[in-house]
Each structure stands twice: as C-alpha cells, then as structure tokens.
Amino acid sequence: MNVHVGDPANGHLLTPEELEAKLRAIGAERYHHLHPFHRLLHSGKLTRAQVQAWALNRYYYQAMIPIKDAHALSKLPTSELRREWRRRIIDHDGDGPGKGGIERWLKLAEGVGLDRAYVQSTQGILPGTRFAVEAYVNFVRDRPILEGIASSLTEMFSPDIIADRVRGMLAGYSFITEETLAYFTPRLTQAPQDVDFALSYVKAEARTRVEQEAVLSALRFKCDVLWTQLDALYLAYVEPGMIPPGAFVPG
Amino acid sequence: MNVHVGDPANGHLLTPEELEAKLRAIGAERYHHLHPFHRLLHSGKLTRAQVQAWALNRYYYQAMIPIKDAHALSKLPTSELRREWRRRIIDHDGDGPGKGGIERWLKLAEGVGLDRAYVQSTQGILPGTRFAVEAYVNFVRDRPILEGIASSLTEMFSPDIIADRVRGMLAGYSFITEETLAYFTPRLTQAPQDVDFALSYVKAEARTRVEQEAVLSALRFKCDVLWTQLDALYLAYVEPGMIPPGAFVPG
C-alpha cells in the first residue's frame, strides 16, 4: 500500500474536474513513460536479449490481469457494473483458444525469440516483477472497489505510450514485425473504453475528500507498480546488469 | 510465490540431514550476504546518505516482522508452539516502551542522522522495498505454516553476516558507534535460538517430498525477498542512482 495520502481533513471536497486534473497530474509525474527503460526500448537502443527480458517479465503482468479483474468483479454489486468489468477479462482471456491479450503477448514473446512454455512457466522472471505484480493483485483483492477501479486508471496514459512504443520498436528493431506487436493494436481502442467507465465511476463514487484522496493514492500506487517493474529490468539487464539468482540469463 | 519447485514426483523422500544440506546450499547461493550492496556496506564504501537509505528502507522490514509473526502465531495449533513463536514478537516489540528490535532499529536510523517520525511514517521507502516486504507478510499469512516457518530459516545464515556487518561498519564509518548498532547484538543470540526451533520443526514436519520441496521453495522465496530489497537500494542509491518518484532523496 502506498502512503502518499495527504491530510484529507484539511482539504475541501474536490469537484469531479479537480479530481480528474489531480489524476492527470499524477500520470504526468509518475507514469512509466518517463522511465529510462522505456526511453531505451522505444528508441531502439536495447539488444534483442534486453527486449526478451522485457517481454518475459511483462508476460507475468499480462497473465495476472484477469486474476486482478476477477477480484474486482467479485466486489461489483450489479449485473450492469459486472458486465462492464467482465469485458476486461474477455479482452485478456479471449473468447476462444488462441484468442485474447495474454495469447497475443505470448506471440510477442515468441516473436522476440522466447520459448512459449518457458514464458508461461514464469520461471525466469525477476522477483521484483513478481512482488510488484502480486502487490497489484492483492491491492484490488484487499481494498475497496473504489480504489481497485482507481488503480486501473493508468490506462488514461497508455494510448500515447503504446503509439510511441509500436512506432519506435518497428523502426528500431529488425527482429520486430507488426505481427509481433499485434498485442497493442486492440489496446488502443480497449483502453479508452475502459477509462471512460473507470474515470466516470471514481468521479461519481468518491463522495468525500477522504475517498478522493484514496483514489489519488490508488493511482500513485499503480504507477509505483509499473515503475518498479522497469526498475527491476533496468538493474538486472541494462545497468549495472546485476541479474538476481535464478532469473533469466539471456542465451 | 516462487516457482523453483522441482518435480517432487521424481524425488525420493529426503532424510532430515539431506533436507538441511539442501537448505544450507540455498543460503550459500542466494542469501543476501552475496549482494554487492552488502559488500559495499560492510567494507565502509558507502556514503552516509547511502547508509541512511539502507536504514530507512530496512526499517519497514523490521517493523513488519511482528505482523508476519502474528500471522504465523495464528496458524500454530498448540500453546507450546505459540509460546515458542511468541518470543519472536517479544524480541521485536519489546516488553515495554523503548524496548525491542523495532525500537533499536529506530535508534540506528536516528544514529545515522534520520528523523524518527519520518522513518516511522515509511513515507520515503522505495516501492520495491514495500512490495518485497509485503510479499513476505502475505506469504506467511496465505501459505501453510510449514512454509511460513521454513521462510524464517534465512536466520540460519544471519549470525555471520551480522558479525561482518558490525565489524565492518564500526571500522568503516566514523558516524557509526557501537551504540548505533545495538540492534544487532541481541540478534546474535536470538537468531540461533529461533533457528534451532524452526529447523527442527521443518525437518520433523515435512513428511513427504512434496512438503520438503515446498520447504526449500519457501527458503528460496525468502532469499528473493531479502535480495530484492538490496537490488532496489542499489539501483536507487548506488548505481545508476535512479531514485523512483516519491522516494527518499538524501539531503
């Protein structure tokens, strides 16, 4: 859990617009588009082995998203809300074998030269990846649904980074094809649709300054989850290149 | 959770001695005495600011130990076992105000120039520290007590590192006094006492190879928890010095 909650007692109730502005300010300061690892990834400056490490570790995040969303689903009180949230699970798990976001991420991992079964085993991921992703799943499981939904709002900032990433990676890496990056294409439409719902929800349901501060903390926490995953990749595979015992060693 | 479990189906039941040997081998490969951050810390090569970052982040680990042990206590079936485990909570929380391991850690933090209230707020700790420590607390809360007890066995390896640390830090840092390091003195006797119980417990209670593999995995997991905390410190405060948004910035 993160501890950046101010002293709500001293604050007035924010208007929905003020709350949204504070959420956007958090993204501008803390979203992982600012992380040096992404700068390198998107500018074609990583080796194939470093891109493999990214794809391998990011797989665990992708694979846990429907688990996280199932915890959220279990806390939503109406069919209408659950139908809305259920779409996220369908996006990731697909509506049949070989479909969905997790499957597309496996194709990305295979596309950069990793073995599918090795990726699925999550055997080689960094402990830092595992702990950050599990912190996110547990956060949504253990906190009120208002905070769980707020923690999804990093998607407010993802269309830009995805566009940069696809453009940069296609230009920068000979081993990356449009097909390899097929994961990202549907995200460009799915993310905004998800954000429309989640943002309206938190603007409507955060009815006290304490709840509004909890919403802001939840987004800071989620930015920490994303940032920490790139920190772990950077230390292990970029600089100084300290791979922890048991983690993926590029062949 | 860690995934280094072998295929127990293919393994014979280990003798208690074989199990202990495998536990010691894990420590020899994965315990954080091997981490470059500790090498620097113990050889007097860190700045005061870097030692402050270590003391600040490690405080969160210290402060959460009794919470972890309370989860373990809640799973122990007899008064005899609970009395044994309760001693760990007393060691950390003390038997009165101003006593116990957490209090001694605060004195260490103050001794290296940190503000007690700031340390207690955990406001400036690294997200990587938070996620690793919470992974440990959740592991003991969520897994069978056999694995919870096994995860405490990193204490098998701590007396050596503590002796090195105290010797190295007193020799290497003018701003460190014996009083500052008072935290560690009782640990030299507490840790072996704790290990005697925990090691006999897992040797007696792991009755199948599957349980023995779970015990070994639990110790690997705990080594990851300790290692990852030093990884986060190294990246942020040693090399390349990438302090994540919101974390402690040495004054």
| Lowest-pLDDT range of A56-60, A153-157, A186-190, B16-20 | A186-190
Mean pLDDT of B178-192: 93
Nearest partner of B55 among B106, B130, B131, judged by Cα: B106
Least CB-CB distance to A123: which of B3, B123, B134? B3
Is there a contact between B242 and A232 if contact means CB atoms under 8 Å apart? no
Q: Which residues does chain A have within 8 Å of residue B244's beta carbon, measured at their own beta carbons?
A: 224, 227-228, 231
Predicted confidence (pLDDT) per residue in A201-248, tens digit: 999 999 999 999 999 999 999 999 999 999 999 999 999 999 999 999
ipTM: 0.92
* Alpha helix stretches (DSSP H) within chain B: 16-30, 36-42, 48-73, 79-93, 101-111, 116-121, 127-142, 145-150, 158-172, 184-205, 209-233
Confidence label for A11 from pLDDT (cuts 50, 70 and 90) = confident
Phi, psi for residue A43 in degrees, rounded to 5: -100, 10
pLDDT exceeding 90 applies to what percent of chain A?
A: 95
Mean pLDDT of A102-112: 97
Is there a contact between B220 and A132 if contact means CB atoms under 8 Å apart? no
Mean pLDDT of B203-213: 98
Tell me how far apart the alpha carbons of residues B170 and B165 are, in angstroms, rounded to a whole number.
8
pLDDT exceeding 70 applies to what percent of chain A?
A: 96
DSSP assignment of A36-64 equals HHHHHHHTT-S-HHHHHHHHHHHHHHHHH
Cα-based torsion angle of the residue sequence A37, A42, A48, A53 in order, rounded to the nearest 10 degrees? 40
Tell whether the model's pLDDT for residue B5 goes beyond 60: no
Mean pLDDT of B203-227: 98
Least CB-CB distance to B231: which of A121, A128, A225? A128
pTM above 0.90, yes or no: yes
Q: Which residues does chain B have within 8 Å of residue A217's beta carbon, measured at their own beta carbons?
A: none
Q: What is the DSSP letter of B97?
A: T
Tell whether the model's pLDDT for residue A7 goes beyond 80: no
Phi, psi for residue B111 in degrees, rounded to 5: -60, -30
Predicted confidence (pLDDT) per residue in A21-61, tens digit: 999 999 999 999 999 999 999 999 999 999 999 999 999 99
Tell whether the model's pLDDT for residue B4 goes beyond 80: no
Taking each helix axis as running N to C, give the angle between helix A16-30 and helix A184-205, from 0 to 180 degrees, rounded to the nearest 10.
140
Tell me how far apart the alpha carbons of residues A223 and A33 are, in angstroms, rounded to a whole number.
10
CB of A6 within 8 Å of any CB in chain B?
Answer: no
Where do we find the tokens 């495998």? Answer: B22
Where do we find the tokens 């501060």? Answer: A213
Nearest partner of A102 among A111, A91, A110, judged by Cα: A91
Tell me how far apart the alpha carbons of residues B148 and B216 are, in angstroms, rounded to a whole number.
11
Which of B235, B237, B238, B239 best tests the A interface by mutation, with the highest count of A CBs <10 A? B235
**3-state secondary structure at position A11:** coil
Tell whether the model's pLDDT for residue B3 goes beyond 80: no
Tell whether the model's pLDDT for residue A66 goes beyond 50: yes
Nearest partner of A54 among A76, A70, A32, A25, judged by Cα: A32
Mean pLDDT of A107-123: 98
Give the pLDDT confidence score for residue A8 in this predicted structure.
63
Mean pLDDT of B70-87: 97
Is there a contact between A224 and B244 if contact means CB atoms under 8 Å apart? yes
Cβ–Cβ < 8 Å for B149, B201: yes
